Amino acid sequence: MIISPSEAVAAGPAVLVDCASAVVQVAALEPDGGVRWARSESEAGLGLFACLEDLSIEPLKVGAWIYCRGPGSILGIRTAAMALRTWRVLRPAPVYAYFSLEMVARARGENRMPVIADARRDSWHVFTMDEGLRRVPSADVAVACAMPEGFRHWTKPPPGTEIVSYDLRELLPRVWHERLLTPCGEPDAFLHEEPNYVTWTPRIHRAPDAR
């Protein structure tokens, strides 16, 4: 069941963790709507824990977690997911996940511009309210798009791309009652499809025959 941030914190305090961009963002959320924020420009392995310390959050006392599953920095998102899996072993708590690009799209309201993030291999993650999240080859992204600030890219953005804020202090209040959170059993980074691994048969290396 997809729920809103307001519903996720209705039963008690929750913590939001977002490591998708170059800035780690953490929020302590209260049922009455109160929010305390911490941000860090350090890499996720340091920034996440610095933010928790700044907010005096003890992970083993958190009632529920909200985290960004992507798209964005795979390393940052997986760092957050690994931490959540560890804390849930020590103290079970519900986890809710959201998509970074959907957060931006919903916060922009009536603006129907697609929101994009680099998907590597000359392709883009593209989110629209009509079609959801897709991976699209660069050559097929033909309309003006919005790209969140602080998201790294290796491919030149499509012409007319607008860089928009990914400051969750601004975005979260706009989507407080939007249904964009999905219950998550095993936190991990989002993938469009599971990876395929090539199998091979090991062979003992032998010196070539001397003839």
For residue 64, give both structure tokens: 């529920």
As averages over each run of 10 residues, the pLDDT of the chain (211 residues) reads: 94 94 97 94 97 96 96 96 96 96 94 92 94 95 92 92 97 96 93 60 66 58
Q: Which residues contact 67 (CB under 8 A, 6 or more apart)?
A: 16, 17, 18, 80, 81, 84, 95, 96, 97, 98, 184, 187
Structure pTM? 0.89
Report pLDDT for 197. 45
Burial class (CB in 10 A: 0-12, 13-18, 19+), 63: middle
Report pLDDT for 66. 98
Q: Which residue has the tokens 């601004």?
A: 170
* DSSP assigned state of 97: E
Q: Spell out where the chain has E strands.
A: 14-18, 24-29, 35-40, 65-70, 95-99, 115-118, 123-128, 132-137, 146-148, 162-164, 182-183
Domain 5-183, CATH 2.40.10.340 — does that match? no
For residue 60, give both structure tokens: 């083993």
Please report, for the chain, the start and end positions of each structural domain, with discontinuous segments joined by +: 5-183
For residue 48, give both structure tokens: 């996440």
Q: Which residue, among 106, 100, 56, has the nearest Cα to 80 in the 3D structure?
A: 100
